[in-house]
């Protein structure tokens, strides 16, 4: 399964779409599939500052509680509040309507620690 | 790790396999919520072959079983099935089980995780004559078909009239030519049947049912969906609502407790507990928000811990609300009481509600 090309990835199965100093963050198709039916998403407050690779929220499926990590440091500009009533959007459209956070990136150089689509694809295949 | 006779079927179908009570079992096929929907509206097919199956024979089985259990065995009619609980001296539950009275023998079905313990318990308490025990755990298979369309899906495959079989009764017959004990029992809150067959014939039966009934909406289901279904239906799961420490009285199962029976293990303790009425008990909780309440989360009242969550899930048949069972102090167990459930350091509001959360229309 090829990974979407225009995104960067973390080992924790988050994706980032970078546009200047603003970034949109979600979890990958592989992650949503591994979690199963998602029933609850807990996201940080708008305005709070988050640090790269730290825990910033929680994603819960019927059976499991999983931490959400941020792939980049920055300030939360927006969270996807539609997920409060429709958490299953993360399952249906992990790269679209199921996005999680938008942040103002603190240090663009941090992106060097993230993975290309090809690199992430190797991780996904290694975990099969 | 042990495997059921249907393990290869699960793997071939792409099921996600987990360890459950020492067995490699399917937790989900297409997805827990999709499988749940199939059982509530059409039907689902479950492999429950990991559960313990014991054969009991001999003229003293009913009177003997009545000394070890809280419900009555001796009053069961031929071909009747009955829920029953084995307790310890303090009234805690060794296991919750179902007795099936067949012609000249009894089938006792126990929880997978308790099968070894129960086999030892039965043998340790067996009289010197009049009771023979046979352990069929792992050799026999158990396939359940559960859901409102179970009768119409299963009927063309069996040589007896399913419509004439009452709930919690059983019969011996054939399913697709395979000799089976066919019982109208289940653990989902829906109509349905449980099929006890020889392990060697299980795969062909599983395949035939899915092939023939798939077009009508029969779906293979895993243990994940089963847990959501039973929780909505208010049915206890051993290790959660019932344990060696949590008694049937605490679990709200007094309907199964027959104190008019002569002596049985745990009777004195359970009678005293009923009398005092001062025990922590299992209640149903509905959360105000969507946050799931997970096993072990603390339940709060006026800033004080008054209990803990024992099971929790989203309830797709309860308006997708977050539902749970909790063991709480008697003072906060009244319906309508507002409690807090401690989720990652924050109290989330919940309300005590009567069980079950879901009851099918009849």
* Count of helices and strands (H, E) across chain B: 8, 19
Least confident range from A122-126, B63-67, B106-110, B279-283: namely A122-126
Q: Does A42 touch chain B (CB under 8 A)?
A: yes
Query: Is the pLDDT at A18 greater than 70, yes or no?
Result: yes
Query: Is the pLDDT at B332 greater than 70, yes or no?
Result: yes
Query: Is the pLDDT at B150 greater than 80, yes or no?
Result: yes
What's the complex ipTM? 0.90
Interchain pair B322, A36: CB under 8 A = no
Q: Which of B37, B41, B5, B42 minimizes the C-alpha distance to B24?
A: B5
Average pLDDT rounded to a whole number, residues B30-50: 98
Query: Is the pLDDT at B267 greater than 90, yes or no?
Result: yes
List the structure tokens of B328. 């709480």
Select from A34, A36, A37, A40 the residue whose CB has the most chain B CBs within 10 Å, as the one to mutate to test that interface: A37
Residues B339, B300 contacting (CB under 8 angstroms): yes
Q: Express as a percent the part of chain B with pLDDT over 70.
A: 100
pLDDT digits (tens, 9 = 90+) for A52-84: 999 999 999 999 999 999 999 999 999 999 999
DSSP string, B137-161: TTTEEEEEEESTTHHHHHGGGBSS-
What is the pLDDT at residue A128?
63
**Res. B53 pLDDT band, cuts 50 70 90:** very high
> Which of B16, B32, B344 lies at the smallest CB-CB distance from A37?
B32
CA B168 to chain centre: 13
**Res. B288 pLDDT band, cuts 50 70 90:** very high
Query: Is the pLDDT at B293 greater than 90, yes or no?
Result: yes
**Mean pLDDT, rounded, of chain A:** 96
At a CB cut-off of 8 Å and minimum separation 6, what does B309 contact? B285, B293, B294, B295, B296, B297, B298, B299, B324, B325, B326, B341
Q: CA A92, CA B34: separation in Å to the nearest integer?
A: 13
For residue B319, what is the nearest residue in chain A, using CA coordinates? A85
**Mean pLDDT, rounded, of chain B:** 97
pLDDT digits (tens, 9 = 90+) for B70-103: 999 999 999 999 999 999 999 999 999 999 999 9
Query: Is the pLDDT at A127 greater than 80, yes or no?
Result: no
What is the pLDDT at residue B362?
76
Interchain pair B292, A65: CB under 8 A = yes
Tell me how close the Cα of B344 comes to any Cα of chain A, in angstroms.
Answer: 10
Q: Does A64 touch chain B (CB under 8 A)?
A: no
The 3-class secondary structure across B298-358, one letter per residue, is EEEECCEEEEEEEEEEEECCCCCEEEEEEEECHHHCCCCCEEEEEECCEEEEEEEECCCCC
What is the pLDDT at residue B59?
96
Interchain pair A36, B28: CB under 8 A = yes
What is the pLDDT at residue B350?
98
Query: Is the pLDDT at A1 greater than 70, yes or no?
Result: no
**Res. B361 pLDDT band, cuts 50 70 90:** confident
Q: Does A63 touch chain B (CB under 8 A)?
A: yes
Q: CA B229, CA B241: separation in Å to the nearest integer?
A: 15
Average pLDDT rounded to a whole number, residues B28-51: 98
Residues B76, B99 contacting (CB under 8 angstroms): yes
What is the pLDDT at residue B138?
84
């Amino acid at each position: 399964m090829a990974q979407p090309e225009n995104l960067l990835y973390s080992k924790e199965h988050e994706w980032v779409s970078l546009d200047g100093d603003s970034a949109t963050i979600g979890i990958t198709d592989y992650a949503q599939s591994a979690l199963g039916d998602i029933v609850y998403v807990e996201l940080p407050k708008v305005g709070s500052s988050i640090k790269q690779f730290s825990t910033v929220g929680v994603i819960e499926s019927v059976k499991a509680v999983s931490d959400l990590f941020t792939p980049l440091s920055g300030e939360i500009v927006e969270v996807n509040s539609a997920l409060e009533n429709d958490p299953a959007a993360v399952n249906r459209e992990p790269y679209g309507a199921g996005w999680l956070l938008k942040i103002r990136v603190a240090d663009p150089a941090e992106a060097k620690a993230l993975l290309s689509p090809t690199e992430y694809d190797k991780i996904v295949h290694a975990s099969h | 790790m042990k495997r059921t006779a249907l393990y290869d079927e699960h793997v071939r179908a792409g099921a996600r396999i987990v360890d459950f009570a020492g067995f490699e079992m399917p937790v989900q096929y297409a997805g827990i919520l999709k499988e749940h929907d199939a059982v509530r509206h059409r039907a689902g097919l479950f492999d429950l072959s990991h559960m313990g199956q014991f054969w009991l024979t001999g003229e003293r089985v009913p009177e003997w079983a009545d000394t070890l259990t809280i419900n009555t065995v001796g009053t069961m009619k031929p071909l009747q099935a009955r829920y029953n609980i084995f307790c310890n001296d303090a009234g805690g539950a060794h296991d919750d089980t179902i007795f099936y009275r067949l012609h000249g023998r009894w089938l006792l079905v126990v929880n997978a995780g308790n099968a070894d313990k129960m086999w030892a318990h039965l043998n340790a308490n067996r009289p010197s004559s009049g009771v023979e025990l046979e352990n069929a755990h792992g050799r026999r298979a158990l396939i359940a078909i559960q859901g409102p369309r179970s009768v119409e899906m299963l009927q063309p495959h069996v040589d007896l009239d399913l419509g004439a079989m009452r709930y919690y009764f059983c019969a011996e017959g054939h399913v697709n030519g395979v000799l089976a004990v066919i019982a109208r029992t289940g653990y989902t809150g829906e109509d349905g049947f449980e099929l006890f067959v020889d392990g060697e014939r299980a795969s062909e039966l599983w395949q035939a049912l899915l092939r023939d009934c798939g077009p009508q909406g029969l779906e293979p289901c895993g243990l994940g969906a089963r847990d959501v279904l039973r929780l909505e239906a208010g049915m206890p799961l051993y290790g959660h609502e019932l344990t060696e420490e949590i008694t049937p009285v605490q679990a709200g199962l007094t309907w199964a407790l027959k104190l008019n029976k002569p002596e049985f293990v745990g009777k004195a303790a359970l009678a005293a507990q009923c009398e005092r009425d001062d025990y922590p008990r299992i209640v149903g909780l509905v959360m105000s928000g969507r946050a799931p309440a997970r096993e072990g989360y603390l339940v709060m009242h006026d800033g004080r811990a008054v209990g803990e969550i024992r099971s929790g899930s989203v309830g797709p048949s309860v308006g997708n609300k977050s539902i749970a069972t909790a063991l709480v102090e008697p003072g906060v167990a009244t319906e309508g009481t507002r409690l807090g459930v401690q989720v990652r350091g924050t109290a989330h509001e919940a309300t005590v509600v009567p069980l079950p959360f879901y009851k099918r229309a009849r």
